[in-house]
Amino acid sequence: MTTFDEILPVIREVLGTLTEALEKLEPVILNRDLNGRIRLILDEKLQDQPETRGAVETIVHALEKRLGPHTFPAERMVLFEPSLEMVKQGALHFPLQGFDAVTVVDRLATETDWARIEPVSSGASRIVFFSIKGGVGRSTASAVAAWSLAQSGKRVMVLDLDLESPGISTSLLPDERRPAYGITDWLVEDLVGNGAVVFEDMVTKSDLSHDGDIYVVPAHGRNPGEYVAKLGRVWMPGMDGEGLREPWAGRLARLLTALENRWQPDVILMDARAGIDEVASACITDLGAKGILLFSIDGEQAWSGYRILFQHWRRTGVACEIRERLQMVGAMIPEVNAKEYVDGLCERSWITFAEELYDAIPPGEPADAYFSFDQADETAPHFPWPIRWHRGFAALQSIHSRFQGMGKDEVKAVFGPLLRGIDAIIGFDGESHE
Amino acid sequence: MKMTTDFLDAHKRHWEDAELLFTAARWANADHLYGLAAECGLKRLMCAFGMKIDSASGSPARKKDRVHVDCIWEHYEAYRSGYHDGVSYSLSSLEFFSDWNIAQRYAPQGDFTREIAASHRDGAGKVYNLVKKAIWEGLIS
C-alpha cells in the first residue's frame, strides 16, 4: 500500500504514462490536504466537457488504484474551480518535478513550512544560531558573540527564541536583572491587542559589556508565570489591522521590527531552537536573516538532519534564495586529534552541501559562474568555522560569572573563527576585537 | 419519508439554486436560499470545529445551536475560536444577515429587491469560499 513518501513519485510515474490525457487538462493542481490525501483541482471550464471527460476518468482511476488511502474515491477526486491561483494562495506550492504544468499545493498543519524565504532585512544585520541537534554549544557561542561584539563598541540585541528550552538570557543576565516579561509574554498579549503593555519591560541591558551595549530579550520574564499555558498559545495566528490572517511568524517578525526600531541595535543575534521546529523555521526563513549559522558536531544524525532540510529547499525551489546565507560551524571540536576531526567534519559537510545545494558545473563551463566550491575552500558555506571544546565554556550556567573575569585572548583562542566570520557577515572590520 | 442531514450537500444545492434564481432576477427566493446556504455552510464548519450532532435527528446536539443564519453568528464564533486555526475561518461580520428571517418566505415578492438579495449573496459567498477552503485542507470532505 502506498505510504506518504511514495505519493509524489507514484503520481509522477502515473502521469508519465498518461501524458496525452494530462495535456488536455493542464494546468493541473495536485492538492495534498492536511491528512495527506490528494485531490485534483482543475479549471471549471473543463467541467462537463465531453472532450475532456475521458482524460479525467483515465487519470483519476489510475491514481485511485495506486494511491489508495492517500486520495479520494475517483468520483470525488476532482474539484473544479474558477481560479486556480486562488487555490494556491496562502499555501506552500511548487511544481511537480518533471511536470511544469502540474503544481503541488501542500497544506501543512504547522504554520511555518521552511520554504517561504523572506529577503534579507534592510536594517541591522540579523544572525541566526541554529543546530539540528541540541547540546552543541550554540547558546554559549551566541552569548560569547554578543559579548565580543559589544566589547568592540557595538549595540547588540540578543533574542532567546529557544522558547521551549530557554537559556541564553541566563548566560548574559543574572536572575535579578531579568526584565519582567519576555518574548512569550508579548506573543500572548499581542493576540488580544495588549502587546504594548509588556513591550517596554521585555528588554534589559546586560552589565557584562562596558564599551558597547547588549540588549537581552529573554523567552520569559523574571517570573515565568504560567509558562506552559502561554507557550501553548504563542503559535496562534492573529489578525492584522485589516482583519486579515497574520501567521504567528508574521507576528514575531513584527515584534522584531518594533524592537529594532525602539532599541536601534547594530546587530541582532537570534538563538533558535534546535531541530526541524516551528521556531527554528521562523528564525531561518521568516525573519530576514543575513547569516544563518549551522552548528554541528560530526555525527550521522546531524548530517541526516541537514540533508533533510537542504532537500526540502531544493524540492520546493527555494535553495537559491537561502544557500548564500548559510554557514557551517564546527562545534565542540575535541582536544585530541583535532585536525583529523575537523578534516572529517569538513568532508561530510562538503558532501552534504555539494549533493544538495551546490550547482553542478557542466563540462567546459567556468566554475566561477556557478554556486559551487571545492572542499578545501575556506570561504565556502560548507567549510566549518571551528569552535574548540573548552572546559570553561562547557557549562552554560556558569557563563555569566565567567564572562566577568574573561580575557579577550581566551575568547579568541576558542571562538576566533566564529567571531571573525560574524564580523564579515555584518561588514565590520573587527579591528577592535584585537 | 425520513431523510438524513447533510449540511455540506444542502449548502451546495442552496447556493447553486440561489445563483440560478439570482441570474433569473427571482430576488425573493434567491434571497431565501442565500440565507439557507450560509446557515448550512456555517453549520458544516461548526461540526468541523467540534459541534456535536444528535445522531437520531441529524441536528446540532445543543438545542441552542439549532438556529437560522440571522442568529448563528455568536454560535459560529464560539466554535471557531475554539479551533487552533480558527483565525483562518473568520468572517468579518454577519451583520448583512441580521435583516434576513426565515419567516420572510411568507412575504410578497414585491418586498424583495436586487439590492437585498445581492447583500445576502455577498455574505453567502464568503461562507461558500470558507467551505471550499475547508475542503481543500481536508477539514471536511
pLDDT over 90 percentage in chain B: 60
Question: Does B93 touch chain A if contact means CB atoms closer than 8 Å?
Answer: no
| Phi, psi angles (nearest 5°) of residue B48 | -65, -30
Label residue A164 by pLDDT band (50, 70, 90). confident
In this prediction, residue B120 carries a pLDDT of: 95
Task: Give ipTM to 2 decimals.
Answer: 0.73
Inter-chain contacts counted by CB atoms under 8 A, chains A and B: 36
Residue among A31, A37, A239 whose CB faces B90 most closely: A239
How far, in Å, CA of A77 to CA of A56, rounded? Answer: 10
B82: closest chain A residue by CA: A236
* Contact across the interface for A245 and B132, Cβ inside 8 Å: no
With 0.90 as the threshold, say if the pTM is over it.
no
The pLDDT tens digits for A378-411 are 999 999 999 988 766 665 455 666 666 666 777 8
A77: closest chain B residue by CA: B141
The fold of A125-426 is Rossmann fold (3.40.50)
SS3 A160: strand
- Note whether A267 and A426 are within 8 A (CB): yes
In this prediction, residue A405 carries a pLDDT of: 63
A72: closest chain B residue by CA: B141
Please determine, for residue A163, whether its predicted confidence score (pLDDT) is greater than 60: yes
* Contact across the interface for A237 and B92, Cβ inside 8 Å: no
- Note whether A112 and A286 are within 8 A (CB): yes
Please determine, for residue A243, whether its predicted confidence score (pLDDT) is greater than 60: yes
Residue B109's H or E segment, with its range, is none
The pLDDT tens digits for A85-140 are 989 988 889 999 999 999 999 998 887 788 889 999 999 999 999 999 888 989 88
Most confident of A45-54, A399-408, B26-35: B26-35
Please determine, for residue A429, whether its predicted confidence score (pLDDT) is greater than 80: no
Sequence spans of domains, chain A: 4-106, 125-426
Question: Does A347 touch chain B if contact means CB atoms closer than 8 Å?
Answer: no
Enter the C-alpha cell of residue A202.
Answer: 521585555
Chain B interface test: which of A7, A34, A76 (most B C-beta within 10 Å) = A34
**Could you say which residues from 393 to 422 on chain A have a Cβ atom under 8 Å away from some Cβ of chain B?**
none
In this prediction, residue B78 carries a pLDDT of: 84
In this prediction, residue A35 carries a pLDDT of: 87
* Contact across the interface for B138 and A237, Cβ inside 8 Å: no
Question: Does A335 touch chain B if contact means CB atoms closer than 8 Å?
Answer: no
SS3 A71: strand
How far, in Å, CA of A107 to CA of B137, rounded? Answer: 6
In this prediction, residue A434 carries a pLDDT of: 42
In this prediction, residue A397 carries a pLDDT of: 53
B130: closest chain A residue by CA: A87
In this prediction, residue A20 carries a pLDDT of: 94
Mean pLDDT of all residues in A186-215: 91
In this prediction, residue A403 carries a pLDDT of: 66
Q: How far is B55 from chain A (nearest CA, A)?
A: 25
Please determine, for residue B109, whether its predicted confidence score (pLDDT) is greater than 80: yes
Question: Does A33 touch chain B if contact means CB atoms closer than 8 Å?
Answer: yes
Enter the C-alpha cell of residue B56.
Answer: 437520531
Question: Does A112 touch chain B if contact means CB atoms closer than 8 Å?
Answer: no
In this prediction, residue A325 carries a pLDDT of: 97
Mean pLDDT of all residues in A209-227: 90
Question: Which is higher by pLDDT, A244 or A282?
Answer: A282
Q: Which residues of B touch A79 (CB under 8 A)?
A: 135-136
The DSSP secondary structure of A80-134, one letter per residue, reads EES-HHHHHTTSEEEEETTEEEEEEEE--SSS--S---PPPPSSSEEEEEEESSS
State the average pLDDT for chain A: 90
State the average pLDDT for chain B: 91
In this prediction, residue A426 carries a pLDDT of: 93
Helices (H), B2-113: 7-23, 27-48, 73-81
Question: Does A231 touch chain B if contact means CB atoms closer than 8 Å?
Answer: no
Please determine, for residue A212, whether its predicted confidence score (pLDDT) is greater than 80: yes
- Note whether A39 and A33 are within 8 A (CB): yes
Please determine, for residue A433, whether its predicted confidence score (pLDDT) is greater than 50: no
Please determine, for residue A54, whether its predicted confidence score (pLDDT) is greater than 80: yes
Question: Does A82 touch chain B if contact means CB atoms closer than 8 Å?
Answer: no
In this prediction, residue B83 carries a pLDDT of: 81
The DSSP secondary structure of A350-417, one letter per residue, reads HHHHHHHTSPPPPTTS-GGGSS---TT-TTSTTSPEEEE--HHHH-GGGHHHHHHT--HHHHHHHHHH
Q: How far is A247 from chain B (nearest CA, A)?
A: 9
Question: Does B9 touch chain A if contact means CB atoms closer than 8 Å?
Answer: no
Identify which of A417, A260, A249, A267 has the alpha carbon closest to the alpha carbon of residue A342: A417
Which of these ranges, A56-65, A327-336, B60-69, B118-127, has the smallest mean pLDDT?
B60-69
Q: How far is A166 from chain B (nearest CA, A)?
A: 24
Question: Which is higher by pLDDT, A273 or A38?
Answer: A38
Residues 6+ apart with CB under 8 A from A240: A246, A250
